[in-house]
Amino acid sequence: DGGITQSPKYLFRKEGQNVTLSCEQNLNHDAMYWYRQDPGQGLRLIYYSQIVNDFQKGDIAEGYSVSREKKESFPLTVTSAQKNPTAFYLCATKTEFNQPQHFGDGTRLSIL
């Protein structure tokens, strides 16, 4: 989606390693979200932030951490505590109340 950049596109994690997924937006949207997508399971919410310096846990926050120090950026760290991190990770943003969420093109994380 135009204006939302997720990097890298592919990422490999070694056992016991933390990795950070980047999400940057230039849409000036207040809210940002991280979802995890697994085959046949749809999208599950990890964390979300509706304003800078504030964020809330989603349905599957265990083993993940986030920060929201700038409006444009919402990085997701997959910690070694996440035992099954292999998935497609999607970042999304939203502006006003009635508007849809916009999605980046995702990062695919695999285990070495």
Partner 1 sequence: AQSVAQPEDQVKVAEGNPLTVKCTYSVSGNPYLFWYVQYPNRGLQFLLKYITGDNLVKGSYGFEAEFNKSQTSFHLKKPSALVSDSALYFCAVRDAGNTPLVFGKGTRLSVIA
Which residues make up the interface to partner 1 (CB under 8 A)? 1, 4, 6, 33, 35, 40-45, 48, 50, 58, 90, 92, 97-98, 100-106, 108
Q: How far is the CB of 101 from partner 1 (least distance, A)?
A: 6
- Which tokens go with 38? 């697994």
Q: How far is the CB of 84 from partner 1 (least distance, A)?
A: 18
Q: How far is the CB of 5 from partner 1 (least distance, A)?
A: 11
DSSP state, residue 73:
B
DSSP state, residue 70:
B
Question: Which residue blocks in 16-107 are alpha helix, DSSP H?
Answer: none
| CA–CA gap between residue 75 and residue 77 (Å, rounded) | 7
CB nearer to partner 1: pick between 46 and 78: 46
CB nearer to partner 1: pick between 31 and 79: 31
CB nearer to partner 1: pick between 27 and 43: 43
Spell out a b/e string for 58-83, using b for 16 or more CB atoms within 10 Å of the CB, else e.
Answer: beebeebbbebeebbebbbebeeebe
